[in-house]
A and B are shown apart, each in its own frame.
Chain A
Amino acid sequence: MLFFIARRLAQSVLVMLTVAMIAFALFQYVGDPINNMVDQDTSLADRERLRQELGLNDPVPVQFWRFVKNAAHGDFGVSYRLRKPVSELIAERFPATMELSLISALLALGVGIPMGVYTALHRERLPSKLFMTLSLIGVSLPTFLIGIFLILFFGVQLRWLPTFGRGDVVHIGWWSTGLLTKTGLQSLIMPAITLAIFQMTLIVRLVRAEMLEVMRTDYIKFARARGLKTRAIHFGHALKNTLVPVITIIGLQVGSIIAFAIITESVFQWPGMGLLFVQAISEVDIPVMAAYLMLIALIFVVINLIVDILYFVIDPRLRVQS
């Protein structure tokens, strides 16, 4: 087990270094950092001095090592576009993205798992067929269109819900939350649903497939033969084993929710990291792009690591093998 975790950790570090190299290459080869810092009047001598001061004339490995050290301290320099430290920009917008992602993950799980279980247990009933058709449509619906249609109906036609921004936020330390005010909660409803729907359709299909698989196994037949109540078999025996692979996938889904938040945030002008990233891409704002890339990679690596370790905790067979 320890050996396994150590190997996984080494792999994670390798992934992070690779991503750091990509981010570093962005700084090196895309655009000239000096040109982005000075204005047109700066003389060539001044530019050269600045270049020397910033260490841009050092050998590439030295620069890379400095980049990794700074990145580890959360220092990614100054945004070309907004002229503010990138770490500050990210910290400002981090809570917005996390709140949106977390709420929609809960929504997707809270609705997706029961729907998946129901469609597996009652395959032939009408609601099951309806759920499955809806989930196929859900897979085919681009996230941004769900958002636009929600805005059209609940924002423009019915005027029930605000269509952009986060509403009023309350600051608790450096964290800003929209969960404590009425407008904040109202603003959260549509973005959270938009982000949750795609994940929900995946979870329904996954839980259904796993549940059907488990219901076919011998120990379920045996439980029936022992005369256990259907309820006990379904929820005590079947669902528990269904959740093992489901938890793995859910871990990975959290990562993809954060990525899909980019789209949702753009549709609703939600002031999160994703919106920052999209603006950075269209303006070629390298420091912001690099910082976002590293942060997302870190989140993914950590989630993957947790999921791998969870495997050991949940599935006793793996512990025996190692």
Chain B
Amino acid sequence: MSDAARPSPARETEPKTAIGRFFDSDLWWSFSHSPLVIIAAIVTVVMIFSAVFAPLVAPCNPFDLAQLDLMDSLKPPAWLEGGDPRYIFGTDDQGRDIFSTILYGARISLLVGFLSVILAMLIGVTVGLIAGYTGGLTDTILMRIADVQLTFPAILIALLVDGVMRGLLPPEMHEEVAIYVLVLAIALSSWVQYARTVRSSALVERTKEYVQAAQVIGLPAPLILFRHILPNVMGPVLVIATIQLALAIIIEATLSFLGVGVPPTSPSLGTLIRIGNDYLFSGEWWITVFPGLALIILVLAVNLLGDWLRDALNPKLR
């Protein structure tokens, strides 16, 4: 049965506004009927919110030296013996409140995650559109590069780009630009996913009549690509972006944990885990465990959202 022959569901009132249409959509229906996804969405929103507004939410600013008291260093979580109710998750070796450092750390992690996903999306979508639309030799070369890169794990590519950038920059600049190096490294390791998806969609789109019409009236290729084809291939791109966000956060944390990511002066969750790792053997487990749990919860929530979005937008994949 073709789409045209299927009777459209009868509705008593046809919603007119964009918001009304959203609440009437399949997407909203599947969202509001899966409790796990709702929880994941709430967790994600709360974590993003508290990370963005960390200076307002956090009990103290862990990087303001005036607020630190070395007498308060290495205190266990509040519910354990020797704990201080002011520091719910305890403190680290410099007397910084773990809860506050987690909020500030999540801020860096999310910043790097979002920036690298946006950059990877820009690179990937552009390459994919050009490859799919022009075809021929350009397409072959671009996709060969993508294929070769895809056989190597993203983490390895990110490590390598990071290493090369470190070599190219003078050592005294490393700390300043570490975040941007990291964003570039993660983006260059993950653009392929977007490129391949967009290319295959663009291959289909370019034969459709609206594209032919645009070509006939003499529109330049870049305009056709970005104004006409792009909006039609964005659906899958958003799904990939959500899943890639979780991956980018993991890669960032891993590189920072390995000591080649964000420097300890403005730590991300990965850097915090690295710092805490040194105290694991002397019994101060909370310095590592709470940032670790925060990282897991964040990634799990984003992954659940990504899985749901993929299934909801494309039921065939289920």
A30→B164 contact, CB < 8 A: yes
Partner among B151, B153, B258, B280 whose Cβ is within 8 Å of the Cβ of A151: B280
Tell me how far the C-beta of B206 lies from the nearest C-beta in chain A, rounded to whole angstroms.
28
A145–B274 alpha-carbon span in the complex (Å): 10
Tell me how far the C-beta of A289 lies from the nearest C-beta in chain B, rounded to whole angstroms.
6
Residues of A within 8 A of B254 (CB): 142-144, 263
Query: Closest chain A residue to B281 by CB distance?
Result: A156
* Given A139-B303, A284-B167, CB of A278 within 8 Å of CB of B148: no
A286→B260 contact, CB < 8 A: no
Tell me how far the C-beta of A62 lies from the nearest C-beta in chain B, rounded to whole angstroms.
23
A282→B273 contact, CB < 8 A: no
A18–B258 alpha-carbon span in the complex (Å): 27
Whether B42 is near chain A, meaning CB under 8 Å from some CB there, is: no
Whether A128 is near chain B, meaning CB under 8 Å from some CB there, is: no
* Chain A 130-172 near chain B by CB (<8 Å), digits 1 or 0: 0000001101111111001101100010000001000000000
Number of interface residues of A (CB under 8 A): 41
A152→B285 contact, CB < 8 A: yes
* Given A142-B253, A282-B259, CB of A256 within 8 Å of CB of B280: no
Residues of A within 8 A of B253 (CB): 142, 144
Residues of A within 8 A of B152 (CB): 255, 259, 296, 300
B299→A140 contact, CB < 8 A: yes
* Given A30-B164, A263-B258, CB of A156 within 8 Å of CB of B283: yes
Residues of A within 8 A of B30 (CB): none
Tell me how far the C-beta of B273 lies from the nearest C-beta in chain A, rounded to whole angstroms.
7
Residues of B within 8 A of A15 (CB): 148
B159→A255 contact, CB < 8 A: no
Tell me how far the C-beta of B168 lies from the nearest C-beta in chain A, rounded to whole angstroms.
6
A140→B153 contact, CB < 8 A: no
Whether A242 is near chain B, meaning CB under 8 Å from some CB there, is: no
A151–B162 alpha-carbon span in the complex (Å): 28
B299→A255 contact, CB < 8 A: no
B257→A259 contact, CB < 8 A: no
A144→B280 contact, CB < 8 A: no
Segment with Cβ contacts to A, from B120-128, B232-240, B289-297: B289-297
A296→B156 contact, CB < 8 A: yes
A142–B277 alpha-carbon span in the complex (Å): 15
A151–B277 alpha-carbon span in the complex (Å): 10
Partner among B163, B277, B292, B300 whose Cβ is within 8 Å of the Cβ of A281: B163
A152→B151 contact, CB < 8 A: no
Whether B111 is near chain A, meaning CB under 8 Å from some CB there, is: no
A255→B166 contact, CB < 8 A: no
Whether A63 is near chain B, meaning CB under 8 Å from some CB there, is: no
Whether A304 is near chain B, meaning CB under 8 Å from some CB there, is: yes
* Given A144-B273, A281-B159, CB of A256 within 8 Å of CB of B292: no
Tell me how far the C-beta of B281 lies from the nearest C-beta in chain A, rounded to whole angstroms.
6
Residues of B within 8 A of A310 (CB): none
* Given A293-B160, A300-B151, CB of A140 within 8 Å of CB of B167: no
Chain A positions near chain B (C-beta within 8 angstroms): 15, 18, 26, 29-31, 136-137, 139-145, 148-149, 151-152, 156, 163, 252, 255-256, 259-260, 262-263, 266, 277-278, 280-282, 284, 286, 289, 293, 296, 300, 304
Name 11 A/B residue pairs within 8 A (Cβ), A-sorted: A30-B168, A31-B167, A136-B307, A141-B296, A156-B280, A163-B281, A260-B153, A262-B159, A281-B163, A296-B156, A304-B151
